[in-house]
Structure 1
Amino acid sequence: MFLDQNFGLNTSILDTNVLNLALSFIVFAIIISFVGDTLKSILQTRKQTILFNLQEAENREMEAKQKLLFAQKAFQNAQQKVLTIHANSLQTIAHEEQTLQKNTQEEIDRLYKVKQEIILFYKQKLVKEILKHVIDAAFEKVYQILEKNYTLEFQKEIIDAYIVLFCDYQN
């Protein structure tokens, strides 16, 4: 062999000797062994990481499903509460409306009675005032007539008429 030739692997069986082939085989075996073990280790680590990530993803999926079910139940409960509140509010509104109408009618009736009492009061007051004026006018007229006809004979007639009335009253 010449020194000026490049180092290389000669795969020709005729040109190489058995020692070169054995060394080459050992080097390839060592390289494959180290690279294979490292590659196996890297792939094993990657596999475990992927399995761990899948397990975590499944756990998060289960947790998300549970949260979804919880949220759906809460939503259904909220919808049921909304329907119940709506129905109750409609009943309350109807009841309040009836109560308000009843109270309004009672107030109208009460005010009508008060109005009638006030009208009756003023009618009675007016009648009293008219009677007072009539009586005052009658007395005035009687006084005027008595003053004109006031004589001793007239006074005797009046006294006799009262005596007769008194006697008839006692019997």
Structure 2
Amino acid sequence: MEVNMSILILLAEISTEKGFGFNGNILETNILNLAVVLAIVISFVGDALRSLLENRKQTIVSNLEEAEKKSKEARERLTQAKNQLEEARKKALEIRKQGLITAEQEKKQCIRQTEDDIARLEDLKSQTLQVQQQKAIAQVSQQVIALAISQVREKLNTRLNAPFHDSVNNFNIVLFTNYKGKKEA
């Protein structure tokens, strides 16, 4: 606006001094024509340019505000992500500790169970050995008895005669009499 005023003042001065007429000086007329054209261009284009620059300024300010808003949101998301990461780390440590505790408990339980199984197997082994010993003793006893009976039969068959029977019967009578006498006394 200030430039327009100065051009108008310049034109007014020129018109009062010389008036309107034909100016043959090309340099002066070109400058004057140029000044008039510039004044017109600046007045019309200047407003459009100022408006364009103002719009551009508003766009830039809006973009800066939007960028600041997005930056703030990104920082908030980063802070949230850091907090979530820290919570995840804490949970991971807690899970690891719990896992170690559980593993230790499982280990102790397995050891205890193994010791119980070993004790049970030892009992079963001793019982099995005892049963096998009893079977072996019973089998040996049966064989000894069978052998003794067969030897007695053999002796009886070979020595079975009347005098032998008499001596055995007499011996048993004496034993019975002695037994009876002790019982009555």
- TM-score class, shorter: 0.7 to 0.9
Q: Structure 2: how far apart are the matches of 1:151 and 1:69?
A: 120
Partner of 1:114: 124
Residue 75 of structure 1, CA deviation = 0.3
Percent of counterpart pairs with the same letter? 34
Matched, 1:29 2:39: yes
Partner of 1:43: 53
Partner of 1:134: 144
> Please, which runs of 5 or more residues in structure 2 have no aligned partner?
1-13, 22-28
Aligned length: 157
Change in Cα spacing, 1:27 to 1:91, as seen in structure 2 (3 Å) is: same
Identify which of structures 1 and 2 has the higher relative contact order when contacts are C-alpha pairs closer than 8 Å and 6+ apart: 2
Letter in 2 for 1:69: T
Partner of 2:5: none
Partner of 1:88: 98
Residue 61 of structure 1, CA deviation = 0.5
Letter in 1 for 2:139: E
Residue 164 of structure 1, CA deviation = 6.3
Change in Cα spacing, 1:48 to 1:164, as seen in structure 2 (3 Å) is: farther
Matches for 1:7-26 after TM superposition, within 5 Å: 17-19=18-20, 24=33
Matched, 1:69 2:79: yes
Q: TM-score, normalised by structure 2?
A: 0.72
Letter in 2 for 1:149: R
Partner of 2:155: 145
Q: TM-score, normalised by structure 1?
A: 0.78
Partner of 1:54: 64
Q: Structure 1: how far apart are the matches of 2:101 and 2:120?
A: 28
Q: Structure 2: how far apart are the matches of 1:120 and 1:29?
A: 130
Please say which of residues 131-140 and 28-37 is displaced more in the overlay.
28-37
SS in 1 for 2:160: coil
- Aligned residues: CA RMSD: 2.8
Residue 84 of structure 1, CA deviation = 0.6
Q: Structure 2: how far apart are the matches of 1:18 and 1:63?
A: 68
> Please, which runs of 5 or more residues in structure 1 have no aligned partner?
1-12
Letter in 2 for 1:103: Q
Residue 68 of structure 1, CA deviation = 0.4
